[in-house]
Amino acid sequence: MSANIAASVCTMCKRKKSFFFRPYSGERLCKKCFSESIEAKVRASIAKYRMFNFHDKIAVAVSGGKDSISLLHILAKMERLHPKASLVAVTVDEGIEGYRDEALAIAAANCRKLRIDHHMVSFKELYNFTLDEIVARAQRKGERELTSCAYCGVLRRRALNITARDVGADKIATAHTLDDEVQTILLNIFRGDVLRLAREKPVTDEVHPRFVRRVKPFCEIPERESALYAYIKKIKFQDAPCPYASEALRNDLRAMLNRMEENHAGTKFTVFKSIERIRPALDEIAKKAPFTECIECGEPASSDLCRACELLRQNS
Ligand code: SF4
Ligand code: ZN
């Protein structure tokens, strides 16, 4: 057999024609073996980081984008094998005109198809303002320090935590991919935010009874593979990018990491694994900064006022 023919055959089943080359492992995979490998990797990450217990009620954070919809489909498939566990989906409507409506409809359609209870919560009902209103106000006040994503991230996390708690969920599963994780690691290093570096991990600690622990089953799945999974499985997701998606530092890091990965396959995994190797030291740092309660809203906070109340106060 010539080298060319050998190279086009799936390295896993050794029968079908390959359509995807995984540079960091050298595998060439057919569509079926590729999607099975993604599901196996997700199962392996869940087991390695002990993300779930058998009886957990899991709230999946579903934005309507490719990663969260793929995660919902994979967890729904796994849940059928674990009758004591249950899934619900939670979607946060930040209030981004012309963008969120389509995502909400797609999230709802996928939940109906998979017969998963779907809970929606909006910034407007929780905080009295949409993200559009918050951003417009910040611009009027000349606030330049914070990006739209900074407001959105803090307030969405809070919204997810409140909703997951309200529905009695034991865990919140988010679809952060390997790319998201590595960008966040470098962002925190570039900003010198060691505490956040220590707190962000595949399974968050049980830091406060009002905090629902967050798990990231896609933390070892590269973003392009999560997108390819959705494409192969013909999963319907929202393709359009968020109009605010412009966090400058994160975009620079994304471009830099993609360039590195192209020239040095496996770079993203190396960064991720390096942080996991020093995890015990990072856990010690996190332990020294326990959570208290926000004097304004009573939610868990790192200081007297939680970050969400701080942002909302600045914006009022
Ligand atoms: Fe929110 Fe930024 Fe994501 Fe848009 S890109 S949904 S503003 S975090
Ligand atoms: Zn607060």
The share of the chain scoring above pLDDT 90, in percent, equals 78
Average pLDDT over residues 135-163: 87
Strands 117-122 and 171-173: unpaired
Which ligand gives the minimal distance to the CA of 134? 1
**How many angstroms separate the alpha carbon of residue 25 from the centre of ligand 2?**
45
- Probe ligand 1: pick from 149, 179, 254, 311, max atoms within 8 Å of CB? 149
The three-state secondary structure class of 301 is strand
pTM for this model (two decimals): 0.93
Bridge partners of 87? Answer: 58
The number of the ligand 1 atom at minimal distance from the alpha carbon of 152 is: 1
What pLDDT shows up at residue 63? 93
The number of the ligand 1 atom at minimal distance from the alpha carbon of 131 is: 7
- Return the higher-pLDDT residue of 147 and 15: 15
**How many angstroms separate the alpha carbon of residue 96 from the centre of ligand 1?**
9
Structure letter (DSSP) for residue 193: -
- Read off the pLDDT band of 244 (50, 70, 90): confident
240 lines ligand 1 (CB under 6 A): no
What's the pLDDT tens digit per position in 258-307? 999 999 999 999 999 999 999 999 999 999 998 899 999 999 998 899 99
Q: What are phi and psi of 289, to 5 degrees?
A: -125, 70
233-271 burial by CB neighbour count: b if 16+ within 10 A, else e? Answer: eebebbeeebebeebeebeebbeebeebbeeeeebbbeb
For the chain, the average pLDDT equals 92
153 lines ligand 1 (CB under 6 A): yes
What pLDDT shows up at residue 5? 47
Fold for the domain defined by 49-315: Rossmann fold (3.40.50)
Residue with CA nearest ligand 1 atom 2: 149
Among the residue ranges 4-8, 14-18, 109-113, the one predicted with the least confidence is 4-8
- Read off the pLDDT band of 144 (50, 70, 90): low
Which ligand gives the minimal distance to the CA of 150? 1
What pLDDT shows up at residue 3? 42
Average pLDDT over residues 87-104: 93
Residue type present at position 213 = R
Domain boundaries, the chain: 49-315
58 lines ligand 1 (CB under 6 A): no
Average pLDDT over residues 50-63: 96
